[in-house]
Structure 1
């Protein structure tokens, strides 16, 4: 019996209004891919397609129609899945212009290939022997709410804190950074900031100079992408190490990736597999970064625990001591219950905790016939 693919939309609701420089987030829709054989329906591979509004190149009105057509084509092709042909199927079935769909199908196929147990990779993280270090994320909000988040993260054992900046006023944000530094040195607490491209050509140099006073680990995407000459200059002269994030989105060709990193020479790149087209395409960024002596870490793109689990397991395939951006599993009050837990600044996979897809199973299943 040929394998079948179906999808389900699912609306995730935030526990709080999550502030970014692009606006306030209160909900997010993901589409879950299910791959199975009708003759053996107990084995189901599940993946998540979760385009990020305003950022993913496949955040388009025809997203669901395209997803439905890809599922129909998958069902028509009478496919079998092996480790060697997953990338071939993805290239022929999805291509590069729908990165979150490619990520969802890749995750679902890997899950199916490994028995439908949500264990996509075989490593110490999946076996529960080793956690992945993560940063504590502080969302934009009022001065008081951001300070409260900082204190909560430090109390929870995080030694790396990442703050979203660029929305409440630069002086207020500097005051929060100054507060942290008055109480914790750079050796005690590492600080990252993410501007999401909020700075302009006229103010970026002065703001980076001011931010350097707080001994930051790095700043992500200080200016909007596609300002190549200015970004190259900033990567060279900035007193705060620069990490590229949005700059990487939409780049799928290996040669193009290498040219970009050679030209800009950032200190770090920040990788979101959902936005970059899945694991193999993300691996190209990692291998290129290694060859050019560029640091990297991986972050979620606000996926549910299904996507976060897949990304975390992939991250654990690499020996990277830098804290990763994978602490988003507690964002939603209707997230899919999973074995993922956070303890003392580490993401852990507790195999004694079961997956519970009751919420997802009660959602409608699309027709792809």
Structure 2
């Protein structure tokens, strides 16, 4: 008797070159965690540990050794897990400097506790009774490629478009936004942009001012993180609301979270459980943001459908009608087949579709 865990490596293959200001993705390694009772291994919970290269604070060369160490420790403890002790176990078992591993264990345990049916939270979303509005993501690339993506997202019914900027010529990026605005008013299409810290402090306000001509809803992380005074000043003066993203990574202490948001005073924060240390840390960010009247939305961080499923179900626990960043399920040739389906700008859980979990057998 006692819970055990195994991990599996899976290399996700992108359907196209996914460009950001930090580089281009063509494939991505991810790690699945399978938690089960040794006396009944047919019932198991799945989680995903999916660090992002160059961004996750646990993007270590020896990541697989660290993951194996966490699994060995878990397997040696002969644990019994209940709803009341899961966060205690996670806090003592896994260091906050390993956010992706903590998220993987957390969601695998929640899945197991709910019967090993990929149900992380038994809510209206997973029952197929509620959908989640999401934005359509436009990756960086040539102007022609970016325009092609814009056309595709609009044709598929998205009314919020998020465009990654900062890699191609800024004037070309502005011309793409201008083209959208010439055809669609702010009432028809909401525009978000994500700079991933690509602007220098010196140029940031001028560039954001130019972006404001196109009625931009928000800009994510215009300058690199860890420039708190400069970000605070930018939030005070920017004509476009600023959303913090990378700025939150590595901030795990509750008081430090509060101090950071009170000082910078962003309009929004972006929550990525894989990068922030799991769902419990996201709960803390949401609670603090709500008290400070700061908006938020959830975003996946290139996980497979295993991680995306957990994030979507967690998101559905809140009455947040802002479009979420959960449209990454169709990025890969070899994703895990699941009931998650994007249609008409929304993420749905279609009960008639089954999970294909053959790689875990």
TM tier, smaller: over 0.9
Q: C-alpha separation between the residues in 1 aligned to 2:201 and 2:269?
A: 21
Distance 1:294 1:202 in 2: 26
- Superposed, which structure 2 residues align to 1:66-77 within 5 Å? 66-77=66-77
Corresponding position of 2:113: 113
> How many angstroms apart in 2 are the aligned matches of 1:83 and 1:95?
20
Residue 283 of structure 1: how far off its partner (Å): 0.4
Q: Describe the superposition over 1:247-279 as per-residue Cα deviations: whole angstroms up to 9, x where unpaired.
A: 000000000000000000000000000000000
Query: Is residue 2:319 matched to residue 1:313?
Result: no
Post-superposition shift, 1:95?
2.0
Q: Any residues of structure 2 matched to 1:93-112 within 5 Å, and which? A: 93-112=93-112
**d(CA) in 1 for partners of 2:41, 2:70:** 21
Q: Which residue pairs with 2:287 in the alignment? A: 287
- Distance of 1:361 and 1:113 partners within structure 2: 18
Report what 2:360 is aligned to. 361
Match of 1:164 in 2: 164
2:243 alignment partner, SS class: strand
Q: Tell me if 1:270 matches 2:270.
A: yes
Q: Distance in 2 between matches of 1:348 and 1:201?
A: 40
Helix, strand or coil: the match of 1:173? Answer: helix
1:45 equivalent in structure 2: 45
Counterpart of 1:191? 191
Partner of 1:21: 21
> What SS does structure 2 have at the residue aligned with 1:43?
strand
- Once the two structures are superposed, residues 223-270 of structure 1 have per-residue CA deviations (whole angstroms, 9 ceiling, x without a partner) of 001111110011111000000000000000000000000000000000
Counterpart position of 1:367: none
| DSSP 3-state at the match of 1:217 | strand
Structure-1 residue corresponding to 2:325: 325
Count of residues in Structure 1 that have an aligned counterpart in Structure 2: 361
Tell me the SS of whatever aligns to 1:202. helix
Q: Mean alpha-carbon deviation: is it higher for 33-42 or for 153-162?
A: 33-42
Shift of 1:155: 0.6
Deviation of residue 361 (structure 1)?
3.3
Instruction: Please state whether the residue corresponding to 2:178 is helix, strand or coil.
Output: helix
Aligned partners of 1:201, 1:128: CA distance in 2, in Å?
A: 45
SS in 2 for 1:70: helix
2:232 aligns with: 232
| Matches of 2:201 and 2:91, distance apart in 1 | 38
Show the counterpart of 1:216: 216
Structure 1 residue 41: Cα displacement: 1.3
Aligned partner of 1:366 in structure 2 is none
TM-superposed deviation, 1:15: 0.5
Structure 1 match to 2:134: 134
Q: Which runs of 5+ in 2 are unaligned?
A: none
Question: 1:73-93: per-residue Cα shift (whole Å, max 9, x none)?
Answer: 101101011111110110111
Q: Unaligned stretches of 5+ in structure 1?
A: 363-369
Separation in 1, partners of 2:18, 2:218: 22
* d(CA) in 1 for partners of 2:174, 2:268: 22
Query: What is the aligned partner in structure 1 of residue 5 from structure 2?
Result: 5
Residue 301 of structure 1 corresponds to 301
C-alpha distance in structure 2 between counterparts of 1:71 and 1:203, whole Å: 46
Q: Does 1:342 pair with 2:304? A: no
Give the superposed CA RMSD. 0.7
Taking the aligned partners of 2:295 and 2:77, their CA distance within structure 1 comes to: 40
**TM-score, length of structure 1 as denominator length:** 0.97
Moved >3 Å (runs of 4+): none
For 2:320 and 2:77, locate their aligned partners in 1 and report how far apart those are by CA, in whole Å: 39
Q: Deviations over 1:317-337 (max 9, x none)?
A: 000010000000000000000
SS of 1:188's partner is coil
User: Is 2:250 the counterpart of 1:245?
Assistant: no
